[in-house]
Chains A and B, each alone.
Chain A
Amino acid sequence: MTTQTEKNPEIAVSPPKPLISGVWMRRITALAPVWTLLALGLFFSLTSQTFLRPVNLNNILSQISTLAIFATGMTFVLLTGEIDLSIGAVAALTGMICAYMYANLKVQEPFPLLAALGTGTLMGFLSGTASTRFRIPTFMATLAMSLIAGGLTTYLSKGRTISQLPEVAVFLGSGRISLDLPLFGVIEIRVLVIVAAVSLLIGHLVLRYTRFGRYVYMTGASKPAARLAGVNTNIILTAVLTISGFFAGLAGVVSTGRLGSALPDAIPSFLIDTIGAVVLGGTSLSGGRGGMVQTLIGLLIYGTLRNGLDNIPSIDPLLKDVITGIVLFVALVINVLLAGRAPRDKTA
């Protein structure tokens, strides 16, 4: 186009020298969430006496663990540039199925757990299939799925909480095991934290080292280009939603175990918190950029912030959401500003 070549004729010849070289700018940009985490950690250690105690740090870990399981699935979905709005409702449903089968139908273990995981996976698969086959945006497909899952939960439970849970769920959600570590001595760790860590680790290995992981990134970076590289993007999209469904199912069982009962309705903050944490870590909503390491950092930021505010007695607990929201805003704005400075392809 004439306008393209004439607008910035000098760029094609010699790009203007930036203040900081591209490589370093990239590194600083990529590390922005880490700086946020360090800044928050430093702030709370100075303002609160209880924040840095091992008990509290352990608390942070268990507080973000359920979120981490959701976030593992959500990272896959966001990396492809899609979204899954059904995770909160699907988790409520799977928790309820697990409890209902055990308490009301007297189904033997481990079938309630398997049924719960299977339901989550199936619902993800259905959202994915509906969205790719009929070209419904995942935003709408998963929103509809969210209604279906929420409705089924209410229907199954008849509005009642079920407190009789299978042992697996209790073990996963609130069990503890002791580990004898060479340097630290015997420490007690929550099973929940281990489940979360294993989820993130598996997610990381799949994204980083498998062919499928590569396709996920490529699909998010550019769907047309992925297709031109021979990638079947429909299969990839269906797969990431299925994965998200599986992890939502797992998170549902785990959070039931943690709370000690299956609630008849979804906890709406799960969805918002999950997306917030993943994006805070630096995974792009438009796809192609980010990963499990980023998600881990995002989770830690989120956990630090929420827990840290609890540890400052002078803050009105009712204002906690407001402050979290503001920090989220600031962190995202910084991310966007830094990303805007990242080197771009001149032809785009």
Chain B
Amino acid sequence: MNATPILQLRKISKRFGNIQALDHVDFDLREGETHALVGENGAGKSTLMRILSGVYTEYDGEFLLDGKPVHLHSPHDALDLGIAMIHQELSVMPELSVAENLFLGRQLVTRWGTIDWKKMYNTAEQELARLGFEHLDVRQPLGKYALGTQQVVEVLRTIVSGARVIIMDEPTSALSPAEVERLIHVIDKLREDKRSIIYISHFLEEVVRVADRITVLRDGQKVATLDAAETNTSHLVSLILGREVNATLPPAVTSADGHILLEVNNLTSDVFNDVSFKVNKGEVLGIYGAIGAGHFDLARALFGMYRFDSGNITVDGHRFKPRHSARYAIQHGLAYAIESRRKSLLMDEAIYRNVTLPHLNRIGSLIPRQSQELKLAAPAIQMVNVQPPDPLNPVGTLSGGNQQKVAIARWLTFPPKVLVMSEPTRGMDVGAKSEVLSILRKFRNDGYGVLVVSSEPETILTVSDRVIVMSHGRVVGHMENKDLNKDVLMRLL
């Protein structure tokens, strides 16, 4: 392999306020190399990528391209120099044909300025054939093909546009295993084509397979750059976490005994596959997965807000009818606090009104009196210890953590059998996090079931009794939390 780096970063540092996001990080990329970047959330991967792709223009350190210093002023600059970034969310046009997507923004034209369809289709066919995708019909709308194919087309687009450096941010998180294989195949082709790839992923096994070299970041610092051939996942995990890890995985739980409050059997949709689990009385079940693993859509499916094709849901012995509504799920004992507090709370309204909202029908009167409502809401508000404790304050004036407490308090007045929460602690500081999680544990101790769905390993490990790990839409692990720690979660992905 050619050893001259086409891209070099030297002693890159970047601060946000009093947080040192990157601290003298060195990074280089050789021609035709796939260089993976791994680390925990917040380790600095995204910051580094934003510098590389021209999003962050202010930083300390040197940025060399082909040995010459450059300074990018915008993502457009980066594209001009042949650096393309592929984001986690696809940016393809499903209504347009495969060929149009390949040439998006730079369609081939005839000398009269009209689009040269013949040339575009021919070139598209040639490019696809060269990379092993001759079976795609370039005239068909891209939306007809599966997500993985769309992603491949997006990758190919950067190549057609002449990119030499392609940054892929979590490219496989939403793909099925077969689609992942296909993407890896494409990356192999790109390597033959002398393109360089920066590959960011949570999936370490995949990283070891795909990458030539791997750079590990931790707390904004570079820990090591390794040859992929000389490392393995547990070694990577120990570098990422900065401590020795146990080599063996804990035993899987096969059955959970107890009074089953929520039972999900073989639930299958386009993004999750054959998922089964149980939540017992007095238990917190955590579902962990990377973004795109399908666990958030799974939670929505419990409330009829995401369509599933087969499988069933049973709450405390009552099996849900097919195509149920959110109201139906709530009436049968489920409650759901979604990840966006802004969407679930009325920010302009008083705390107590947010708490009583789902219970107004129990007050009976069509014109709820403030005194009645306060009486109903006060115990719950007190229980979660909202600060400041005045129930008349608008929710919008509270901190994120206290808003989340209100979102939980809402369900403490007349508790559901199982409370489902997505990302219960997102965007909170440490103190608020632990408070919110201890409220959930207390709720569990009172004999209810809790289902926590999250992509934050800390949250899952702090609050759960049992944990299910999902990856690419499937359950890949089921364990007692006492046997678990971060490195296990990381390796299971």
Contact = CB atoms under 8 A, between A and B. Distances in A.
A316 interface: no
Contacts of A2: 41-42, 45-46, 170, 291
B16 A230 contact: no
Interface stretch (B111-119, B237-245, B322-330): B322-330
A265 B353 CA distance: 45
B343 A10 contact: no
A194 to B, nearest CB: 24
Interface in A197-247: 209-212, 214-215, 217-218, 221-222, 224-225, 227-232
Given A9-B21, A211-B368, A228-B338, A218 B357 contact: yes
28 contacts: A2-B291, A4-B427, A5-B42, A6-B42, A6-B47, A9-B16, A10-B17, A12-B429, A13-B19, A210-B366, A210-B368, A211-B361, A211-B365, A211-B366, A214-B357, A218-B346, A222-B344, A224-B326, A227-B303, A227-B305, A227-B325, A228-B335, A228-B344, A229-B410, A230-B327, A232-B327, A347-B427, A348-B340
Given A228-B336, A345-B400, A347-B427, A6 B347 contact: no
B42 A9 contact: yes
Given A1-B291, A211-B361, A348-B340, A6 B21 contact: yes
A96 B18 CA distance: 69
Interface string B12-35: 000011110100000000000000
A10 B305 CA distance: 33
Nearest to A212: B366
Given A214-B353, A218-B357, A347 B340 contact: yes
A4, A7, A12, A222 pick with most chain B CB within 10 angstroms? A12
Interface residues of A, number: 44
Interface of B: 16-19, 21, 41-42, 44-47, 88, 169-170, 291, 303, 305, 325-327, 330-331, 335-336, 338-349, 353, 357-358, 360-361, 363, 365-368, 396-397, 400, 403, 410, 423, 426-429, 455
B344 A225 contact: yes
Given A12-B427, A26-B396, A230-B327, A210 B41 contact: no
A214 B369 CA distance: 13
B360 A224 contact: no
Interface string A55-87: 000000000000000000000000000000000
A3 B17 CA distance: 17
A224 B357 CA distance: 14
Contacts of B47: 6
A22 interface: yes
A151 interface: no
B427 A346 contact: yes
A2 B303 CA distance: 27
A8 interface: yes
Contacts of A222: 343-344
Given A7-B46, A229-B344, A347-B400, 17 more contacts: A2-B41, A9-B19, A9-B21, A10-B19, A13-B19, A211-B363, A221-B346, A221-B347, A222-B344, A224-B326, A224-B343, A225-B343, A227-B326, A229-B358, A230-B327, A345-B403, A347-B427
Contacts of B303: 227-228
A294 B170 CA distance: 46
Contact of A6 (B45, B335, B361): B45
Contact of B396 (A13, A214, A230, A343): A343
B342 A10 contact: no
A230 B397 CA distance: 25
A109 to B, nearest CB: 32
A227 B302 CA distance: 13
Nearest 7 Cβ contacts at the A-B interface = A345-B342, A10-B17, A227-B326, A348-B342, A222-B343, A225-B344, A229-B358
A344 interface: yes
A289 interface: yes
